[in-house]
Amino acid sequence: MEQYDVIIIGAGHNGLTAAAYLAKAKKRVLVLERRPIAGGSVVTESFGDGFEADAVWTGGQLRPDIVKDLDLTRFGLDPQPASVKPALISLQPDSNHLILEADPAKAAQSIKRFSGRDASRWNEFVRFMDKAAHILDTAYYTLMPRLPKSLNLREGYGLLELGLELRLAGRKDMLNFIRALPMTAEELLEEYFESDAVRGAVAAVAIHASTLGPMEAGTGYTLIHNWMNRGGLANVNVGRAGEITAALSNAVKSFGGEIRTEAEVANIKIENQIAKGVVLANGEEISAKTILSSADPKHTLLDLVGARELPPEFVWHTQSIKMRGSVAKVHLQTNGAHGIPGGTIVLAPSIKYLERAYDAAKYGEISEKPYLEITTSGNMVSIHFQFAPFSLRNSEWKVEGENIYKLAMATLADYFPNLQSLITNYHVITPQDLEETYGLTEGDLNHGQLMLDQFLFMRPMPGWSNHKTPIDNLYLCGSGVHGGGGVSGAAGRNVVRALT
């Protein structure tokens, strides 16, 4: 007899979300996590004496329906009050920084210093982006059918609802949304704004966490995706990543589920194309009726299932999933006198600057003039560094970590000249660390690039977007599937609907 109804591989926020829903529905649930702590990319962890930071992730927020369904405020999640929504601050060479407050009227005041025309268009841009984010959120809520197979009733109904949502958006916004997805961020922003400062600041959000420059097709989509996840331009919950996954873990346990850390799954046990359980790295076998994996699709299907169990064409599609991590992180522990304001600070003075930073990644090189995103929490300063490609052409990550620190500090010295002298400790996370420590294949933050050919019914691969796999009773529920990418919990929530 199976010990559990459901085993979930990986205790990232998506695995924990699925676990909480299932445990609440009275299923016997076990979550297995290879690291010593739960949370995946959403963790606050220690790098030494008193040196604690949100290790990898900076923004995003769980969908409100998940917070409500799982009653997460009861389990310790502090809902961010709307009145303290942070700003996006774009550094300018002359210290005339652009401050994009969440309140459009206040943002327009700052934009006016760069262009009166842009200031007058800001309100309309924010309105459209909020609408577009809402439509995308609805698309992420909808279970995608396994095209080109025929639809079942529920899939057909879901698509009808999505169609209705698009129609309710109004003809103009519906068309503009569909049109924006394949556009370059540059083209989209040129339609609204003329100043380099405003275009650069918004384009930074479009390319955040993607290996794309703002002149690449599809960065219209990534702009809407990141806007949706953040609830605007700036990151929320900075310094409090661990609280999200702690609330989810508390919910899982309180509903009767179990979470085991330092429990790496070595392979999924399969008999006659049916998943029967898992084998841990220490040899222990655990059986269950259903296995969910919130690890990325490549790792799950190629390492834990194995190509021998899968149809050749499916293996080829899995191998072809584009995973292209190009982000590194630098955490600085300072003496507290850094004076860097709260909110999300970006070094993205223009679209050209961002595209040049991306040029390096195309050739397997680290950007000499990177796009940086800086957030602070108390005396900690965290720097998101783009672009640092996972596969380096002429070097290796074992030796380049220190270089990332030096490049980040040299770049920031123009804006915060005293910063270097205030640092008491620092910690660099390279794309290789993202793979080895955080389990992200090729350092890809979203378990697969957010691109239009890996979107909707093509995520994680064409024909397999409804969480199912060719192995019966094995489902995917991490960021690499439809609804996933970023911290929203959508993939973990949706898989539960796909099971029933």
Ligand X SMILES: Cc1cc2nc3c(=O)[nH]c(=O)nc-3n(C[C@H](O)[C@H](O)[C@H](O)COP(=O)(O)OP(=O)(O)OC[C@H]3O[C@@H](n4cnc5c(N)ncnc54)[C@H](O)[C@@H]3O)c2cc1C
- Binding ligand X (rule: CB under 6 A), the pick from 15, 158, 232, 277 is 15
Contact 489/63 with Cβ under 8 angstroms?
yes
Residue of 458, 471, 470 whose CA lies nearest to 313: 470
Whether the Cβ atoms of residue 197 and residue 90 lie closer than 8 Å to each other: yes
Q: In this structure, are residues 480 and 297 in contact, taking their beta carbons and an 8 Å threshold?
A: yes
Nearer to ligand X, 90 or 446 (CB): 446
Q: And the tokens for 387?
A: 């672009």
Taken in order 390, 396, 401, 403, is the CA torsion positive or negative? negative
Nearer to ligand X, 32 or 87 (CB): 32
Q: How far is the CB of 442 from ligand X (least distance, A)?
A: 12
Q: Which of 478, 493, 496, 498 binds ligand X (CB under 6 A)?
A: 478
Query: Smallest distance, Å, CB 253 to ligand X?
Result: 17
86 lines the binding site for ligand X (CB under 6 A):
no
The least CB distance from residue 485 to ligand X, in Å, is: 6
Nearest-approach distance from CB 379 to ligand X, in angstroms: 21
Choices 7-15, 83-91, 107-115, 165-173 (CB under 6 A): range interacting with ligand X:
7-15
Kindly state the tokens that stand for 39.
């949370």
Q: Report whether 469 contacts 301 (CB < 8 A).
A: yes
- Which amino acid belongs to residue 87? A
- The answer to whether 246 contacts ligand X (rule: CB under 6 A) is no
Pattern 16-45, ligand X, x by CB under 6 A: ----------------xxxx----xxx---
CB of 175 to ligand X, least distance (A): 27
Cβ 429 vs Cβ 329: under 8 Å = yes
164's CB contacts (< 8 A; 6+ apart) are none
Fill in the per-residue mask, 352 to 391: x = in contact with ligand X (CB under 6 A), - = not in contact.
--------------------------------x-------
Q: Which of 232, 431, 439, 483 binds ligand X (CB under 6 A)?
A: 439
Distances (CA, A) of 119 to 148, 197, 251: 46, 12, 44
Q: Candidates 140-148, 399-407, 455-463, 480-488 — which segment interacts with ligand X by CB under 6 A?
A: 480-488
In the complex, the smallest distance separating the C-beta of residue 299 from ligand X, rounded to whole angstroms, is: 6
Which lies closer to ligand X via its Cβ, residue 303 or residue 472?
A: 303
Give the Cα separation of 461 and 483 in Å (integer).
Answer: 13
State yes or no: residue 209 binds ligand X (CB under 6 A).
Answer: yes
The count of chain residues that interact with ligand X, using the rule CB under 6 A, is 43
Q: What are phi and psi of 282, to 5 degrees?
A: -85, 5
225 contributes a contact to ligand X by CB under 6 A: no
Pairing relationship of beta strands 327-334 and 423-429 according to DSSP bridges? antiparallel
| Radius of gyration from C-alpha coordinates of the chain | 22
Q: Following DSSP, what letter does each residue of 415-440 receive, concatenated?
A: T-TTHHHHEEEEEEE-HHHHHHTT--
Contact residues: ligand X, CB under 6 A: 9-15, 32-35, 40-42, 56-60, 208-209, 229, 235, 264-265, 294-295, 299, 304, 327, 329, 384, 434, 439-440, 445-446, 478-479, 484-487
